[in-house]
Structure 1
């Protein structure tokens, strides 16, 4: 086949793909419109929007119909996204995240909710909590700890101020790039990023850009936004920010340690039902007397529950008074967990159950 015929054949195949894409778009919208009608009937009859049995049977049916070359993993991914979108159009959810767009929190929110819902950026963590409390958003996604730098203290502090539940958790791998308009290291005079990102790259910065001024921002994407307007500014952010703000990468994977992961929490007013693989988060305060914390934690040991995390934060009401944040295995509706929490309460000045929710499992989340 000569070059002219090859070009003609390539154009013909591309036209076929364009036609199929148009048909797919029309069929997806048609499916969503039918899904809206189903949602209306469910609302009228009081039926649940979520029907896991129906969704599972749908996927199994498609597996049987499939003749390839699409594999099961591809079918499961594509139709899970479509099913989730159909479910959301029956009952659309609004999700608040720490903006601007392309922040790690935004990426975590998109991944957790499979790009379905209305995603609303907020300028700070307080506004995320506030929007959910006021029912302006169904859910909020907030960072709570990093595998290298530890707890995000401001998130923990806000749980003391708002009466919201933890509905889910999400773990997102984090890798940082140094981004700028030109992509040239010699143009960089200032480096902007979120305090956590700066801390995760501090050795690299000291080695490569000791001359640069360092500035903190409310998010990595905010740093990218600033960098997009000044060639002397570089931002430490993710690849998504580079695409959105049309920045060039000076260097990739600049974090001091590999395997960097951030844990995010989904906050809302719902309390998930037990799944058999759950954790419960509580916060409590003890008296500032010797042995108070030991006595409060002793019931966990007696019940032989796995303690997954323990963090402390000042209460800000009294000097040397602390809130303790405790994660234990199990759901609050499990008798052993419920009895243990009641015992902890006896040794506490105050106690709040923050939520019981499924333990994050990457494989299950992708399925």
Structure 2
């Protein structure tokens, strides 16, 4: 055995011992999670027990990142813990997560990022169905898009909050990366047709103009539709798709070129829907709907109480309606409903003859 092999063998033996310790600790953690489930069922009842606590998970992940000393990056370590927590939660209660389908979309990617691979993700055909299943309890939680840096707010999601009695219990921020996908053994230079959603074509326009100026671009409804079309052999020529990393796990495709989006910082935000109240995690956000009469200075009057109490707004959207309440404001701001300044804010807003609906207080996105 060479000197190199001797040194490597010492390190490999050390890795094997560490792996054994890790495995023992993981099983100990899983056993503890099962005991947590038993305690909750004992005091809350098997039907009413709440196993997923967004504020608790956010606190754990933040502590993981704060105490990390490297060499692994803090976010990578947090993602590992996310999967450990996902597996342990599945032992307590298998989670069914409804999302706006079909499979292979960024919304599914957001669901997996937030709940981990052990959650059961269920694609639904419309946003209305996601809201309805969560409200009925058919799904434990739902994931819906709310905004994109390039396209703004998802108006239909905002509208549904006025129809359904459910809460926002979390949020997911997802960096949006578009990849050029082709079938295995296909020369990407021979591609004659590219399938993608209208938004993906828009977000990759400059790259497409530079690399495929004369290739036909076909707009489809979803990323999954694009991947499916590109995966099928056709006598119309060689096809490619613009899609996410998740698509290659669902269709016989491979990534030909990564990150072809024109705007490197493109991201989307998704909301986690549930039926529970979420306690404070220490770094929280609150979302509300406020209905007001349309009059000069209405927005200024609405924002004054936030400014007076030093409450920072992170998002505000205005919609005009017909009827007694002419304007609807969707507002995100920092803080939790249990915070004294937020409670005082709500009292003042309600005293101003405004109709206010609390959509939820929830942890700010960690990963």
TM-score by length of 2: 0.76
The SS at the match of 1:255 is coil
Q: Where in structure 2 are the equivalents of 1:242-253 lying within 5 Å?
A: 242-253=248-259
Which residue number corresponds to residue 291 of structure 2? 285
- Taking a change above 3 Å as real, the CA distance of residues 185 and 99 of structure 1, as seen in their structure-2 partners, is farther
Shift in CA distance, 187/281, structure 1 to aligned 2, threshold 3 Å:
same
Q: Distance in 1 between matches of 2:151 and 2:259?
A: 16
8 Å CA contact 2:100, 2:130 repeated in 1: yes
Aligned equivalent of 1:221 = 224
CA contact (8 A) 2:56 2:281 kept: no
Match of 1:199 in 2: 202
Conserved? CA contact 1:149–1:200, under 8 Å: no
Match runs of 1:158-169 below 5 Å: 158-169=160-171
| Contact 1:312–1:324 (8 Å) recurs in 2 | yes
Displacement of 1:92 in angstroms is: 2.6
**Cα gap change, 1:358/1:79 in structure 2, threshold over 3 Å: closer, same or farther?**
closer
Q: In the TM superposition, what is the alpha-carbon distance from 1:290 to its structure 2 partner?
A: 1.4
Contact 2:193 2:239 (8 Å CA) reproduced: yes
Candidates 301, 307, 310, aligned match of 1:295: 301
Gaps of 5+ in 1: 7-12, 64-69, 363-367
- Offset, 1:257: 0.8
CA distance in 1, matches of 2:352, 2:162: 19
- Describe the shift of the 1:41–1:129 C-alpha distance in structure 2 as closer, same or farther (beyond 3 A): same
Deviates further, 295-304 or 85-94? 85-94
Secondary structure, in 3 states, of the residue corresponding to 1:239? coil
Distance (whole Å) between structure 2 residues aligned to residue 43 and residue 103 of structure 1: 35
CA distance in 1, matches of 2:189, 2:228: 18
1:314-353 matches, within 5 Å, as 314-315=320-321, 317=322, 321-347=326-352, 350-353=355-358
RMSD: 4.0
- Is this contact kept in 2: 1:284–1:348, CA < 8 A? no
Q: 1:210 to 1:344 in 2, by over 3 A?
A: farther
Cα distance in 2 between the residues matched to 1:214 and 1:90: 45
Paired residue secondary structure (1:161)? coil
1:269-318 CA deviation, whole Å, 9 max, x = no partner? 11210122111111122222211221122111122211111112344x55
- 1 CA distance for matches of 2:196 and 2:34? 44
Matched, 1:124 2:118: no
CA contact (8 A) 1:331 1:357 kept: yes
Q: Against the structure 1 CA distance between its residues 285 and 203, is the aligned structure 2 distance closer, same or farther, given a 3 Å change threshold?
A: farther
State the distance in 2 between where 1:325 and 1:186 align. 48
Aligned residue pairs total: 339
> Of 339, 359, 364, which aligns to 1:359?
364
1:320 Cα deviation (Å)? 11
CA 1:77–1:285: 2 relative to 1, 3 Å: closer
Distance 2:294 2:213 in 1: 45
The 3-state SS of whatever aligns with 2:162 is helix
Match for residue 212 of structure 1 among 206, 210, 216 = 216
d(CA) in 2 for partners of 1:301, 1:76? 35
Match of 1:9 in 2: none
1:203 aligned counterpart, secondary structure: helix
Partner of 1:312: 318
Instruction: Tell me the distance in 2 between the aligned counterparts of 1:183 and 1:177.
Output: 15
Alignment of 1:1-367 (within 5 A): 36=34, 39-40=37-38, 42-46=40-44, 81-181=83-183, 182=186, 184-193=188-197, 195-207=198-210, 208-209=212-213, 211-217=215-221, 219-231=222-234, 232-315=238-321, 317=322, 321-347=326-352, 350-362=355-367
How far apart, in 1, do the equivalents of 2:344 and 2:25 lie? 52
Q: Any conservation in 2 of the 1:173–1:260 contact (CA below 8 Å)?
A: yes
User: What's the TM-score once normalised by structure 1's chain length?
Assistant: 0.76
